[in-house]
Amino acid sequence: MSPQGSEGSGGSLLSPSPLPPEGPHCGPADSCKAGSPVKPAPLEPDGDRPDSPKEILDLDSHNAAARRSASGFPYDPRTAPHPHMMPRPPYSTHPYHGAHYAPQRPHPHLMEALQRPPHLPFPPGQPRMALYGHPQASGHFQGMQVQQRALAPEHYLHPGQQAMCTGSPRSTGKTPSCRASCCPKIHALAHILHRRSPPNTAYSMAPQPFLHGLQVTVLSVLLLCWAGVCGGSPDPRHRDSLIQQEASQQTGGTVLLTEAERRLSTHLHKLKRQEVEGPQFPPAMHFFKARPFIQRSPVFKLLQKMPKGAALHLHDFSVVGVDWLVKNVTYRRHCYICFTPTQSVRFVFSATQPRPLPCCSSWVLLETLRAKVDNTSDLDHSLMQNLTLFTDDPAAAYPSQDVVWSRFEETFLAALGLVTHAPVFKDYFYEALRQFYMDNVMYLELRALLVKTYELDGRLHDRAWSLEAYRDVARQFVTEHPDFLGARIIFTVHRGLNLSEAEAVVEEAMQLQKKFPEVMAGFDMVGREDRGRPLWYFREALSLPAERGVTLPYFFHAGETDWEGRDVDENLLDALLFNTSRIGHGFALTRHPLAKELSRKRGVAVEVCPISNQVLKLVSDLRTHPAASLMSEGHPMVVSSDDPATFGATGLSYDFYEAFVGLGGLSAHLGTLKELAMNSIRYSSLSPQLKDKALALWQRKWDQFISENSQ
């Protein structure tokens, strides 16, 4: 058999068209139309649904589904594959018309939340993630001791200001009233500001806003007023003072650098300036176009070598470069492929000819296929294209968010049959740890669906098996690489679930959390936020742990949208109300001042994934990414890479590059990078003891990096 489209140079692997009489084996007439990204919302009642690739890739399930679908339901959740495995999301564009979705109501807790001490508004029994507070700025924290964030009046009132008040260098002396009225007022205000500032402490691991927003405003107005009222032309020294103050507010703005670190910072700045002034500025381009420029960038090369700490926002099946999947996994024995009308592929490992899959052509053994095609590298290239979004012309390939998300979910479905084969599952995770380790990352937190894995003989493994596998592989990797710290898992489910499914899964999450406290970090809901159900819809399910007095830390995706005012736009506040430990993406945070303030005050870090947000079309030029402004005000944040394999990236360095060069611009310096790396440990789910260990390890690596690159 020769799949059309797989022959010839580099064309993408297409399903046979027109489809042969024996395939595709589709369910209900309209259930496998190519290209339609949405399905009607699943209706209750719920029932058992297949949720392993073996079940999804299984004719019996299909036949059963077809039989049950004859009942007249346009889409019956009892017969449908698990949402993660659906070729199209199992929810509609108008997902909330089901009886189980109560219309959005105002959040009565919210104002209460702001008025009470930070942890009180949250349900009892949902303890906040311990914030790491290092008692002394010593040992491995030496380099992290920072300047006093609260400035005394003499800091923001430059010594020269006294002189200026009596007349600027160019003063004509026309402001006699200044001395009498303006200066005392300014000093009085300055003293008030000083009193309101937090005490002079060594760097707190739970950073507080060093100046309250009001203080900053008053201070700025004060100094601008000074310049305008008290002098003819602003004093350059005052201008410098303002610039310095503003710079100190940014991420890393108060990190004290050693002499060697300053040298490297200056060098980095020079390199960055060359990129800013060069003909191509990668962060302004789509990542697929920018990648070759980034790969040549000396800044990027330094970032690759830099110890970046932890990657805290990653999805299970997009953490290993797709070339490894194709070159290694699809060359293993018993690997079958079929072709979907959506121009994608599915794989399965089976000792015997697998039963046909709905909406897919007949299964072909890849070994046989490879023997028949003229050019196996073209075939392999085509396979890779099905596992990634990467393309030379992203604008043409992905004209809208709908298109890119539909294709995005297809890449996960294409990988699913490969990565959930039990032996591959373990190898894949080991390879993920290796690739991140090679990129100088020392710890991962992986959002994992924990779908059933399968053996060649058809046996299935449950979620506990997957957690054990993650734990064992991580342990083995750490034994072999003692300077690596390991990984923890955030159990995730798709936000297309209905309420009773969500309740069942939260119950299971609580049990898994209890059974595997070492490896399981918590719980999250994934999938396209704009099309999924909002967190508030799941409130009864998400309240279960608190009601039972059980700990289930949340790490919610929230604000991964550029729509304002829709139901999902309240996910940010709801995530905070449900006491989320971090916020996945938080792209919309700058449009939610209250959520932003709460997240800052509580040290709930935003997991910023610049490349993901660009590829999934929330933003095109990364200089305008909202996290640029979060960064300039030192909002708690970490940088992560989300789905590097799908985006044609590896590890964390590409996203660090985009954050450092694009979001941070010329203002970001080595202190920014240092704080971002340390943040990744500070805001991780590790215990305080392990954070200490991680920071000590990171500091050793950092010192070595500085000594090797600061000459």
- Site residues, ligand NOS (CB under 6 A): 84, 315-317, 409, 412, 447, 449, 492, 526-527, 557, 560, 612, 642-643
> Which one, 265 or 614, has the nearer CB to ligand NOS?
614
Question: From the CB of 436, what's the least distance to ligand NOS, in Å?
Answer: 16
> 280 near 652, Cβ under 8 Å?
no
Question: From the CB of 559, what's the least distance to ligand NOS, in Å?
Answer: 11
Residue 644 CA to residue 622 CA, distance in Å, equals: 17
Tokens, residue 179: 């001395």
Residue 481 CA to residue 433 CA, distance in Å, equals: 10
> Which one, 140 or 315, has the nearer CB to ligand NOS?
315
Which strand (E) or helix (H) includes residue 357? Answer: none
What burial class does residue 182 get, using C-beta atoms within 10 Å of its C-beta: 0-12 exposed, 13-18 middle, 19+ buried? middle
Residues recorded for the chain:
711
State whether the Cα torsion 71-72-78-81 is positive or negative.
positive
> Which one, 31 or 613, has the nearer CB to ligand NOS?
613
The 3 state secondary structure assigned to 176-209 is HHHHHHHHHHHHHHHHHHHHHCCCCCCCCCCCCC
- Which residues are paired to 336 by β-bridges? 348, 365
Place of tokens 């009607």: 40
Cis peptide leading into 28, omega within 30 of 0? no
Question: From the CB of 567, what's the least distance to ligand NOS, in Å?
Answer: 16
Residue 457 CA to residue 349 CA, distance in Å, equals: 9
> Which one, 520 or 526, has the nearer CB to ligand NOS?
526
Question: From the CB of 527, what's the least distance to ligand NOS, in Å?
Answer: 4
For 490, phi and psi rounded to 5 degrees? -105, 110
Residue 33 CA to residue 341 CA, distance in Å, equals: 7
Closest CA to 219 of 159, 200, 227: 227
Question: From the CB of 445, what's the least distance to ligand NOS, in Å?
Answer: 13
Residue 90 CA to residue 27 CA, distance in Å, equals: 14
Catalytic site positions:
560, 585
Letter string b/e over residues 671-704, b meaning 16 or more CB atoms within 10 A of that residue's CB = bbbbbbbbbbbbbbbbeeebbbebbebbbebbbe
Measured CA distances, 260 to 660, 678, 702 (Å): 20, 18, 12
Question: From the CB of 613, what's the least distance to ligand NOS, in Å?
Answer: 8
Torsion of the alpha carbons at 555, 556, 561 and 566, rounded to the nearest 10: -160
Beta strand 520-526 with 557-558 is unpaired
Beta strand 453-454 with 460-461 is antiparallel
Question: From the CB of 410, what's the least distance to ligand NOS, in Å?
Answer: 10
> Which one, 313 or 674, has the nearer CB to ligand NOS?
313
> Which one, 527 or 603, has the nearer CB to ligand NOS?
527
Three-state secondary structure call for residue 133: coil
> Which one, 6 or 386, has the nearer CB to ligand NOS?
386
Question: From the CB of 590, what's the least distance to ligand NOS, in Å?
Answer: 18
Question: From the CB of 611, what's the least distance to ligand NOS, in Å?
Answer: 10
> Which one, 449 or 686, has the nearer CB to ligand NOS?
449
Place of tokens 């200056």: 266
> Which one, 570 or 642, has the nearer CB to ligand NOS?
642
**H-assigned helices in 439-498:** 463-480
